[in-house]
Amino acid sequence: MKIGFIGLGKMGLNMVTRLVQHNHEVVAYAPHAESVDAAKAQGARGVNSLEELVADLERPRVIWVMVPVGEPTENTLAKLGQLLDEEDIIIDGGNSYYRDSIRRAEELKACNIQFVDVGTSGGIWGLKKGYCLMAGGSKDVYDFIEPLLRDLAPENGYDYIGPHGSGHFVKMVHNGIEYAMLQAYGEGFEIIEAKKEFDVDLGKLAGLWQHGGVIRSWLLELAQDALNEDPKLDSVLGYVEDSGEGRWTLAEAIAEDIPAPTIAASIFERFHSRQVESFSAKLTAALRKKFGGHILKQRGKE
């Protein structure tokens, strides 16, 4: 199948490479020429603009968009809406908010342009292992693009979820669960690392748990790799970013009156990781001194 691909970052370039490896004809575009050159090196045809990309595809055109969430996605889809013809297909494989995907599907429908939201999981390992793909939109359009999904995914790694927005919705919750799992692994290994009298080899332990342990997972496999490379993680700064999906998952839980304390705690811990020094902690220490006479550690003093 011939496909246009917009966005050649960490995941996008690997997806282009995997498609080319499966004999799809890929026309690739990104704002930076070096990214386009990288795609060309993998066997894609590189172009210098959205206009050129659209002109290079036959109808019904299929274009996969893999750009950062928010304004980049909004602007790209708006421009494509002006360039494409009726029955052309846009696939948004980024981490868009599902309500935005529902709105965008309606806006494109007014121009008779088809839209599919595809939640995409797999990270930088997707090239080798394949991507887990969760598609929302028209079932007929899903059936048309299924060869692309099949070749991007591992066996049983893609499926039709439901109407517009559903693909990005379940990917949002997937990432919320991921936040909680990462937090649990982090806390557990910190408890073990703190028990100096046992001097546990954390990388070796992670590998042990992979064989029959109830908590075995791909994330634990990656933890084993990280801990074997840097047992004390001395080279890592404990600053944890978030890309939005956890916040959206928590907002949805609140809207639906669903208790999600574990996911909520994991999000707040990420915020905590970014504080060099917490004002709330300083105030708590000051108050303990005031009401109970507890020792107060001050700058430059014992």
Give the active site residues: 171, 178
Strand ranges across the sheet with 62-65:
45-46, 25-29, 2-6, 62-65, 89-92, 114-121, 132-136, 158-162
Contacts of 143 (CB under 8 A, 6+ apart): none
Cα 14 → chain centroid: 14
The closest alpha carbon to 133, from 92, 178, 192, 78, belongs to 92
Tally of residues, the chain:
302
The closest alpha carbon to 42, from 12, 1, 76, 2, belongs to 12
Buried b (16+ CB within 10 A) or exposed e, 272-302: eeeeeeeeeeeeebeeeeeeeeeeeeeeeee
- Amino acid identity at 257: D
CA–CA distance, 267 with 181 (Å, rounded to integer): 11
CA–CA distance, 76 with 67 (Å, rounded to integer): 8
